[in-house]
Amino acid sequence: MLCALSFALRRYYSFHPALFLLSKPSFSSPLRLFSAFTMASSHPKDEAYLNQVIKKRIKLFQSLQSQQQSHLLSLPHDPLKVTLPDGSVKEGKKWVSTPMDIAQGISKSLAANALISSVNGVLWDMNRPLEGDCELKIFTFDSDEGRDTFWHSSAHILGQSLESIYGCKLCIGPCTTRGEGFYYDAFYGDLGLNEDHFKQIESGALKAVAVEIINDLPADKTITVYRCGPLVDLCRGPHIPNTSFAKAFACMKASSAYWRGNKDRESLQRVYGISFPDQKRLKPWISGVPIQWISDPFSEHNLELLLEVENTSIRRPADYVFISVGVYWW
């Protein structure tokens, strides 16, 4: 389960925070990038450094979480009303009821596929308590909001794998907004990374990179951190309810990058990945099927794209032989 905290005290980040750790691996197939245990043994991790960082960040997170939970319990749990897109109204309690509670009250299927919500137009974690009367929307993977959140969370899973197996120093890894997939930047020393030597990753010595980002924020800025297992990091969020949603994962390519885009700063390596809720969506994407067709193959817009690409007449959906999500044969 992903946990989140919000706080505004900079002194809590005097240590070097590394990023998300996957609490319960749930991929249906091994990650080819991260299965190179022979490579890991030839480039040993700085175990003492990792142990020190992990213990410190968990202790700090638990302390802040305890304070936040105590504060939430002290708030009044007055009734609230939640208005759904169809105009129906659900009831709940302030600081107790969550979007996931509302989704479960609608249907088990919706709750099982709900990735993120919006509260009065603001993206909201599914397990974050509601604070008052609101308009609520719930998004699955078949939406821009759902996919962006899914890939944002998957970027942290990628970062966790890099750190836990190779001990690299993680930097920045947002998903590509309204694009396809995600990436993670990390510091590996002077090692250049590409598809031919993913197995040669070695940890670098860059420290306190997230502290630099925090110091750029206004003094009164609220900082949000997320935890998944022993990995804790500064993150804007929101995230998917838990990491078990990401069941299909593949690394696509690697390239060089500079810390914060400054060519005079440290050279980083960027690893790109793609993920889906299941293998049946990953396979057609790897074959070249656009993400929009995988999500909603028979939408009017996608049929127009199909017509433009094929320069042929549109056939009725019944004329297609549908063998996998997003793959057409006729």
Q: Quick check: 138 pLDDT over 50?
A: yes
Which residue in 239, 240, 235, 209 sits closest to 222, CA to CA? Answer: 235
Among 101-115, 212-226, 236-250, 304-318, the range of highest mean pLDDT = 101-115
Give the Cα separation of 176 and 238 in Å (integer). Answer: 15
CA gyration radius, the chain: 22
Could you tell me where the beta strands, DSSP code E, fall in 134-284?
134-139, 169-170, 182-187, 223-228, 231-234, 248-258, 267-276
* CB contact at 8 A, 252 and 270: no
Residues contacting 280, CB < 8 A, separation 6+: 324, 325
Burial 281-317 (b: 16+ CB within 10 A, else e): bbbbbeeebbbbbbbebeeeebeeebeeeeeeeeeee
Which SS3 state, helix, strand or coil, does residue 124 take?
A: strand
Report the pLDDT value the prediction gives residue 262, as an integer from 0 to 100: 58
Label residue 204 by pLDDT band (50, 70, 90).
Answer: very low
Domains of the chain are: 3-68+145-277 (3.30.980.10), 281-329 (no CATH)
For residue 278, the 8-state DSSP code is S
pTM: 0.70
Report the pLDDT value the prediction gives residue 14, as an integer from 0 to 100: 25
Kindly tell me the burial class for residue 200, based on how many C-beta atoms sit within 10 Å of its own C-beta (0-12, 13-18, 19 or more).
middle
